[in-house]
Amino acid sequence: MKGSTKKKIEGYLFIFPWIIGLSVFVIYPAGYGLVLGFFKFDIFNPPKWVGLRHFMELFTEDPNFLKSLSVTLRYIIFSVGLRVGAAFFLALLLNQRVKALGLWRTLFYTPSIVAGYALALLWNRMMDPQYGLVNVVLRFFGGPTPNWFGSEPLAFATITVMSVWSVGPLVVIFLAGLQGIPQELYEQAEIDGAKMRHRLIAVTIPMISPVLLFNLVIGCIHATQLFVEPLVMTNGGPNNATLTLLLYLYRNAFSYLKMGYAAAIAMIMFLLTLGMTLFLFRWSRRWVYYAGSG
């Protein structure tokens, strides 16, 4: 046996357990879930083929689905912008040589390890119009004290802003990217008279653009899966203003026992995620700079 063949076999043997796990626990359920969208299925009785009926119903007869799609798309746009922007800004700050840097980094990462359910409950308390911390502070400074879940735009905005709370992982990725930028580039820019703003635009952003792309892709996928916060904090309300695709999928699957219909929603979520990712990669050709690619 040739050495290269042997190496290949060894490689496959090493990844074999992982491939088994991926096939059984990810690929098969995901594929089955996608196929299920063409069937009427209530989990208890055998699936019945309905063709494209679920998809037709989703787009022509189901205003709740269209609303949840709209909510999810808006959430993706606003929350990804906010999260990536906030993470980049925090990473820039945490990349400075300041005292107790380790402590600051830990502090900003800590919210990310809090379970989503607990976080949602905490925010629910904080946003209480009468007794919540946010309004208490606003009242102290003489500001307005809105009912954060009392109107559609405010409820949506509250859930969106809340997403910034857990930017820790994005910050860590940005930090790693920032620390990989050669210092010579900054020194050279300084010699050329570039100020901080110019260094950011001409050096930092181009050099970190692959990381930015990564965070955008991950951020979009993460945002598409928003579930716990609206479930716990608003139950999708008021007037479905925070009804996300995943929450609507959950309702159909487990409250209405419409697994096939829910699977059709899952397929649309999959296509949405795929479409966004492809778009980002295509778009990235125009602005992402890979230093090693020449």
Partner 1 sequence: MKIRTPLALASVLLLVSVGAFASGDSDEASSDGPVPLILSAWGGQEVADFYAANAAEFSRLSEGRVDASFRHITADYNQKVQAMIAAGDAPDVFLLGSSNAPLWWRKGLLLEVTETVHEHGLLDDSKWYSSLFSSSRDGDTFFGLPDAMNVFLLLYNKTAFDKYGVEHPTEDWTWDDVKAAAMQLTVDENGDGVNDLWGFNIWHTWSMWYQVFLWSWGAEWAIDAHEADTLPWLAGKDWQKGQMVDSGAAAALRWLQDGIYKDEFIRPRVGATVAGEAFQQGLTAMDIVGTWYLETTILVDDFEWDIAPIPRVGKGDPHVTQMTVSPWVVNARTEYALAARELAAFMCCNNFVMETMRRDTPLSKEVAFSDAYLKIPGAPPSYQLRVDIIDMIEHPRYWNRQIPNGAEIEQALNTEMEKLLINSQSPEDTAANVDKEVARLIAKGWE
Residues that bind partner 1 (CB under 8 A): 40, 42-45, 121, 124, 127-131, 139, 145, 147, 149-152, 231-235, 237-240, 251, 254-258
Residues 6+ apart with CB under 8 A from 87: 167, 170, 171, 173, 174, 215
Q: C-beta of 158: minimal distance to partner 1 in Å?
A: 9
Q: C-beta of 148: minimal distance to partner 1 in Å?
A: 8
Q: C-beta of 239: minimal distance to partner 1 in Å?
A: 5
Closest to partner 1 by CB, 86 vs 114, is 114
Q: H/E element holding 40?
A: strand 39-40
CA–CA distance, 231 with 236 (Å, rounded to integer)? 6
Nearest to 124 by CA among 84, 155, 94: 155
Closest to partner 1 by CB, 50 vs 80, is 50
Do residues 145 and 256 touch, judged by C-beta distance below 8 A?
no
| Amino acid at position 155, single letter | A
Closest to partner 1 by CB, 66 vs 274, is 66
CA–CA distance, 41 with 238 (Å, rounded to integer)? 30
Residues 6+ apart with CB under 8 A from 74: 156
Q: C-beta of 262: minimal distance to partner 1 in Å?
A: 12
Closest to partner 1 by CB, 145 vs 277, is 145
Q: C-beta of 118: minimal distance to partner 1 in Å?
A: 13
Closest to partner 1 by CB, 120 vs 211, is 120
